[in-house]
Amino acid sequence: MEYIYAALLLHKAGKKVDENGVKAVLTAAGVAADESRIKALIAALDGVNIEEAISKAAAAPVAVAAAAPAAHAAAAPAKEEHKEEDKKQEEESGMAGLGALFG
Return the DSSP state at 62: H
Express as a percent the part of the chain with pLDDT over 90: 47
Other Cβ atoms within 10 Å of 3 Cβ, number:
20
Question: What ranges make up the beta strands (E) of 4-103?
Answer: none
Residue 28 domain flag: yes
Rounded to whole angstroms, the Cα distance separating 17 from 41 reads: 10
**Beta carbons of 45 and 7 less than 8 angstroms apart:** yes
**The domain that contains 47 carries what CATH number?**
1.10.10.1410
Give a yes or no: residue 93 inside a domain: no
The band of 57, judged by pLDDT with boundaries at 50, 70 and 90, is confident
Average pLDDT, the chain: 80
- In this prediction the pTM is 0.56
Average pLDDT over residues 48-72: 76
Mind listing the pLDDT tens digit for each residue in 86-98?
Answer: 776 766 665 555 5
pLDDT of residue 43 exceeding 70: yes
Please state the φ and ψ torsions of residue 14, each to the nearest 5 degrees.
Answer: 80, 15
Distance CA 49, CA 53 (A): 6
Domain count, the chain: 1
pLDDT digits (tens, 9 = 90+) for 25-36: 999 999 999 999
Mean pLDDT of all residues in 68-84:
63
